[in-house]
Amino acid sequence: MSRYLKNQLKRSSQKAESALVALLNENLNDKFTHRLSEVEALQFLNLVEGHNLEGILPSHFSQNLPHYIQQRIQKRKIYQRSYNQFLYDQSKQLNLILNNFNPIFLKGIGLLGNVYHDFEVRNIADIDILVSQKTSREVENHLIKFGYKLLPQVNWMGNKHKQNFRLDIGDFSVFLEIHTSLICFDRSQKLLTRKNEFSKLTTLSIEYQFYHLILHLGFQHNYTNLKWLLDIHLLKRKYEFDLEFLLHLFKKSNRYRSLIQFNEIYHAIYKEPFLSQIPRRNLYFPKSLQKFLIYPHKYKTLYAQLKLIEKGIGLESTLFSIDWLKQKSMIFFHKNP
């Protein structure tokens, strides 16, 4: 490949990356999108789809693009709207089925209707429900009685706090995760909850939602999908919260390290810290960190570095890191040579 072509591809990639960051900051205006060539628009769209952000694409983005790209975007939005409506209806049904077990709805379904008003906006793949460890076996039997099938899963420490179920209904399938804790090793007791204003489903309090979403993004998934970062950004923008209580949750659970690291992650995309009260620690060059967030599977060294720093050096964290290195990194490097 000639140097000229390499430079052209590099410039196209940079424009696509800038457009993705602008989209997350709600700055993707007409002037910005009109400057994108067809190749750059396709690169941008591939990044958007890779992070499951198709639903937040503004309508003006596709107006000046070839018809086949417009169809691709519209088809995805129509499907997501239908599937989210399906999952929302099934969540209401599950709330009735599991009413005696006090289910708490997490992540996407918990955000639908209050943070995300339009059903096509948030890409939701499954339903996440938190129940107590004591009732988990009863919940499993109850779900099986109503047609849900227990699915096999990879046996490693990161999965020990949840079970996966599936129910096929017509053209769609319900994928359900039953959690017995917010993340692995979490021992939070007496979680504070609230009702989703739209769905009336029980969700976590705003502070506990931040606590869970930040740890899910970082500790559980190592910042590999920007839709989860957007969840936190929009939640912060909409709701006031008790800062001292939020800091208390992270410190009490020995996860304050995760909050410090997340502060840098948030700054890499939104150019401000998530919490200005936390002293910033510039552990990484901002440009490389932003690149990692956009292409997490290309930056394998930084991926491993963030993962190990996130876990810390406690006994549980060390065991987790060893298990992750055995179970996850081999799969990761095999799939991303």
Residues 95 and 187 grouped into a single domain:
yes
User: In terms of residue numbers, what domain contains 82?
Assistant: 78-204
Residues 194 and 216 grouped into a single domain:
no
Last residue of a domain, one of 43, 65, 87: 65
Identify whether the C-beta of residue 40 lies closer than 8 Å to the C-beta of residue 12.
yes
Residues 37 and 90 grouped into a single domain:
no
Collapse the DSSP code of 52 into the 3-class scheme (helix H, G, I; strand E, B; otherwise coil) and give the result: coil
Percent of the chain residues topping a pLDDT of 90: 50
pLDDT tens-digit series, residues 188-200? 668 999 999 999 9
Residues 142 and 101 grouped into a single domain:
yes
Last residue of a domain, one of 180, 204, 228: 204
pLDDT tens-digit series, residues 154-205? 766 667 788 999 999 999 999 999 999 998 767 666 899 999 999 999 999 9
Specify the pLDDT at position 94.
96
Residues 200 and 210 grouped into a single domain:
no
Identify whether the C-beta of residue 212 lies closer than 8 Å to the C-beta of residue 184.
no
Specify the pLDDT at position 285.
54
Give the tokens for residue 72: 């691709």
301/304 Cα distance (integer angstroms): 5
Residues 54 and 119 grouped into a single domain:
no
Specify the pLDDT at position 160.
79
The domain tally of the chain equals 3
pLDDT tens-digit series, residues 49-97? 999 999 998 877 777 677 888 888 889 999 999 999 999 999 999 999 9
Strands laid side by side in the 104-106 sheet: 104-106, 127-130, 172-179, 162-169, 149-151
User: DSSP code of 43?
Assistant: H
pLDDT at 328 over 60: no
Residues 311 and 232 grouped into a single domain:
yes
> Lowest-confidence range among 50-54, 260-264, 310-314?
310-314
Residues 51 and 93 grouped into a single domain:
no
Residues 163 and 231 grouped into a single domain:
no
DSSP run (H or E) holding 88: helix 67-97
Is residue 9 situated within a structural domain? yes
| Beta-sheet strands, E only, within 152-199 | 162-169, 172-179, 193-195
Residues 112 and 210 grouped into a single domain:
no
Specify the pLDDT at position 185.
67
Specify the pLDDT at position 323.
60
Identify whether the C-beta of residue 166 lies closer than 8 Å to the C-beta of residue 148.
yes
Q: Which residue did the predictor score with more confidence, 241 or 261?
A: 241
Residues 214 and 333 grouped into a single domain:
yes
Is residue 103 situated within a structural domain? yes
pLDDT at 335 over 50: no
Residues 120 and 103 grouped into a single domain:
yes
